Amino acid sequence: MRLAIQKEGRLTDHTLNLLRQCGLEFDSYKQRLFSTVRNFEMDILFSRDDDIPEYIESGTVDLGVVGQNLIYEEGVDVAELQAVGFGHCSLVVAVPKESGLTSPKQLGGLKIATSYPKSAEKYLKSIGVKAEVVTLSGAVELAPSLGVANAIVEITATGSSLALNDLAPIETIIKSEAVLAANKHSLQHPYKAKNINRLLVRVRAALSAKDFKYLVMNVPRQNLDKVVAVVPGLKSPTVVPLNDPDWVGVHTVIRQDTFWEVIEQLKEAGAGGILVVPIEQIVM
């Protein structure tokens, strides 16, 4: 089984960290293009990110970690198995702030610069606008100030690059993040499908762990019902008798996004000695 990941770019470090959180052992150097995972039946191909969608669809690789924006751009038929929680961005239509343009419908007959020409063409066709698409390989935000184009279609994560170049977004074409995508034929292959599912279990466990914290606390037995109402856990908290019969130990899992609110409620419910432990994986 082969997995393609970005060789060098904004997804690379996040992808490598995720794979290592999945317990995979492999070598990764900037000059390396191919690496064998020592403890899993898989090879890793380090590639240009815009080649990965085609590699997946053609079966050159069975899996890839790639942005949805590139899947949309290339129009490939692949299976998106799991969003991986990084690489968030949007493909937007942006215009100079002083242009007076407020709607993509006003772009008819104008020039639009982009490094995503297929996406731009698809979008313009979908809204019935005929415009000239100018393909650039970089520094797209400079195109309007250089007189190359009247507007741009480009990826933005924070909007800071647009603002620095006095551009304002007027439409979001798609919202994107990195996903683990698979070749559809590989999903039908008994041996490959088994290993894809094994990897997917690991990926989901690593991703789930980021959303939760493990708590261990001491609770007066008379307050146990109040505490259990605050932290029901994934299914039910673990309650452990202590040497003092009037107290119990409670082990549970809570969501990261409600952490401080839950801690405050636990204190009010009488819990004490609360120990917070990071989680490496959660296998649901």
pLDDT tens, residue by residue, 184-228: 999 999 999 999 999 999 999 999 888 888 999 999 999 999 999
- The most distant pair of C-alpha atoms in the chain lies apart, rounded to whole Å, by 81
2-86+177-208 and 212-277, same CATH topology: no
Q: pLDDT for 223-282, tens place per residue?
A: 999 999 998 766 788 999 999 999 999 999 988 888 999 999 999 999 999 999 888 877
State residue 174's pLDDT score.
Answer: 97
**Count of CB atoms within 10 A of residue 156's CB?**
19
Q: What is the spatial distance between Cα 197 and Cα 60, in angstroms, rounded to a whole number?
A: 19
Domains of the chain by residue range: 2-86+177-208, 89-176, 212-277
pLDDT digits (tens, 9 = 90+) for 62-90: 999 999 999 999 999 999 999 999 999 99
Please answer whether residues 262 and 231 qualify as being in contact, where contact means their C-beta atoms are separated by less than 8 angstroms.
Answer: yes
| Count of beta carbons in the 10 Å neighbourhood of residue 70 | 23
Q: How many residues does the chain have?
A: 284
Q: Is the pLDDT of residue 30 over 80?
A: no
If pLDDT is split at 50, 70 and 90, which confidence band does 28 have? confident
CATH superfamily of 2-86+177-208: Periplasmic binding protein-like II (3.40.190.10)
- The DSSP code for 182 is E
> pLDDT per residue over 129-183, tens digit each?
999 999 999 889 999 999 999 999 999 998 899 999 999 999 999 999 999 999 9
Task: Give Rg (Cα) of the chain.
Answer: 25
Amino acid in position 42 = M
CATH entry, 212-277, from 3.30.70.120, 2.40.160.20, 3.40.710.10, 3.40.640.10: 3.30.70.120
**CATH classification of 89-176 is 1.10.10.60, yes or no?**
no
**What does the pLDDT read at residue 284?**
65
* DSSP assignments along 35-74, one per residue: EE-TTSS-EEEEE-GGGHHHHHHHTSSSEEEEEHHHHHHH
